[in-house]
Amino acid sequence: MPVISWKSFKERVQRREPVLGPFMKVGEPALIECLGFAGFDFAIIDSEHGPITMETAQQMVRAAWCGGIAPIVRVMDNQPGLIQKVLDMGAAGVQIPQVNDREGAERAVRAARFAPAGERGLCCYTRAARYSARPKDEYVREANRETMVIIQVEGVRGIDNIDAILEVPGIDILFLGPYDLSQSLGVPGEVESQVVIDKMNEVIEKSAERGVVVGTFVDSPEAANRWISRGVCYISLKSDMSLFMEGCRLFLSGVQKGR
């Protein structure tokens, strides 16, 4: 029987409780199920960077349900068709990259919500609707209430337009992408650069004033704790492959290999 403890995920985010989850680059459902059993709160199934297809993503969403971990799918682009597909498969939320202005934020929200809150295409024969087993009005109501809309602001243009972006209703999380932001600021890959940190802090402060939850990506527990102390609560910690690589190296470092 599916474990659906992740149904409380959005409520925890709204209470500003820190939640942790890695990006998933490998299309292996067992990995996301394992992450749930290990205690992670969510996982971002990444169809922007990596080979994961929509068919594979749906199998990973199923596995997330079994593991009690909230499945978030990052789409390749801010396109209504892509957003609709991942929500139809039963994802807890959709993460949209490279949102740079108010128009982009509005487009993302419209694509993720059914009318009257948005323009998401309605089909009651999808996995999200339990293949028509759910009453139609219940499905629409719960989908609009529970679906997470996460927009990524990753460059100087987005930072410059942050006030207008934050005015858009329906954004559940504003996700700051530090690596792309570092490139945009002229310090590629230097996510600990003061210029990057200052820009992120600027957005965090403005988001707090508007009551918008902030998320970001981190490479270490130390960075996670630092951003949590600043009020960031949606923390993407590494990726499945970096966690695997780290575990392999740690294990091998403790084994004597020859004389």
pLDDT at 2: 42
Reference 97, options 74, 71, 73; nearest CA is: 74
DSSP label of 101: S
d(CA 33, CA 61) in angstroms, rounded, equals 9
pLDDT at 159: 95
How long a stretch of residues is the chain?
A: 259
Q: What is the mean pLDDT of each run of 10 residues along the chain (259 residues)?
A: 63 94 95 94 94 95 94 96 96 96 97 95 92 92 93 95 96 96 94 95 96 96 96 95 93 79
For residue range 202-219, list pLDDT tens digits in order. Answer: 999 999 999 999 999 999
Tokens representing 252 are 């091998």
d(CA 24, CA 155) in angstroms, rounded, equals 23
pLDDT at 1: 34
pTM: 0.93
The secondary element (H helix, E strand) that includes residue 258 is none
SS3 label, residue 42? strand
d(CA 65, CA 3) in angstroms, rounded, equals 6
pLDDT at 180: 93
Q: What is the CATH number of domain 5-253?
A: 3.20.20.60
Tokens representing 168 are 């858009």
**What are the extents of the domains in the chain?**
5-253
